[in-house]
Structure 1
Amino acid sequence: MILAALPRLILEPPVRTALMEDLGLAGDITSTAVIPGDHRSKVVMAARKPGVIAGLDAAALAFALVDPAITVIRHIPDGASVKPGDTIATVEGLSRGLLTAERTALNFLGHLSGIATVTAGIVAAVAGSKASVVCTRKTTPGLRALEKYAVRAGGGINHRFALHDAVLIKDNHVAIAGGVAEAIRRAKAGVGHMVKIEVEVDTLAQLREAMNAGVDAVLLDNMRPDQLREAVGIVGGRAITEASGGITPETAAEIAATGVDLLSIGWITHSAPTLDIGLDFVSA
């Protein structure tokens, strides 16, 4: 899969917001007081833990928004694996700007690389199966596009981006509608022909009801591996099958072996640990 870069139009608002949050109303008073205005430095962003890199565009943009004259030379691309000590990028320019943008740049790079790293771990765990690893809408407010990009950098694929781009009928929709079939009927009547419809089911009885009503995908929620295997048989290739609920690196391979098409995992975006990346001084 080709990892396409996010447009600056998408990247700039969250990066600019993060910088404004950090600078407040007075700017970087420490660097202004301590560092001469004409002092220059060369620094490197280096990995301190093994992982997969994502977020270099956001990090570079943080430096550029503070000082467009700062140069960022990337030594590896997003999606690449690193080991401790590997140099990710070299950054050079006026020292005040480097230090002002440092934390914002590292926050984006570390957070997004953390997501890419855990995603890559799950992808490796299910290698050899047909299952793909997908994210969810359990993302940090304002950072969804970036976090879903990081999932792609780790070898995963994206679920729907928002409420508007696909129908996902969940348990509360079913409860309010009065049943799986009725919820599906209403969805088909309410959306256009280009919109995919998926329904969440908790039981095999609900799954049979969904298949009789006709859907594009079924979310098999919190089912045991034996139930998932039976569910895949019931679907028989007529819809995409998505396993969800409590999937970990330890259980992913067993779940993928049931024959499901997708492993849907919320924690890869909402709870991925930050990858430890430092910004180290090289020379003045």
Structure 2
Amino acid sequence: MSTIGARDVQLATADRTTSDGFAGSSAMVRLERVDKTYESRRGAVQAARDISLEVADRELVSIVGPSGGGKTTILKLVAGLLRPTAGTIWVDGNRVEADPPQGIGMVFQAPVLLPWRSALENVTLPARILRLDMGAARRRARELLEQVGLTGFNDRRVYELSGGMQQRISLCRALLHRPRLLLMDEPFGAVDELTRESLNDQLLALWQADAKTVVFVTHSIEEAVYLSDRVVVLSPRPSTILGIETIDLPRPRDGSLRLEPEFAAHVRSIRASLGLAA
């Protein structure tokens, strides 16, 4: 178990970078001294301050922290949906500027599906938008729906399905075009605990079968430990990095891991970083 203090979260490849700040780095995602301030009628609100972080290719990293502490803001900055007030962001070697980067899939807390369309039609929606081959997209969609346990539900309308099923469809939709980076914003926060654990296992199975980089925002420390290679711990607003917990637990993982002393030790360590009672 290893926790790194915020000021020690340095960019390991800094001595190999060139003038663009990124070349030579193997990271899929890199944030360098990123700030974000929102302007409003009541004045400026700083959501994130001096965030420097690298996420390696095929790494699964979770972000935890207090509500309103900037976790979602950081995810939106990486996705190019927001512009940083200061600092620079790279995704897959390209600086994130005016346009959202390519090759990203996103999953939100709410499934954001078209309820009058079928499960299969919702999953294949990105193919229509991106003008991909629809035959190949349907085959890929059926494979994904099978992998998340929704075989037989391809033609069911979304409004007929449970919240957990809808979130599985949302995950399949995000994976349809085989993104190299998957951004997930509290995707399982609205489902019951048993469903959440099942979704955790299905996410890990998908990630291990088709390795990609995942950045996962959650309020659940236990969920973060179970899923992740590393857990980034944020302070209250304005967000700064309090520490990064390296999760040195074996893979593949299953539910029995939650009963192990090493699992509990990681949870306690992260709680301590957040100033929470053990």
TM-score by length of 2: 0.34
More strand by share: 2
Max radius of gyration: which structure?
Answer: 1
TM-score by structure 1 length? 0.33
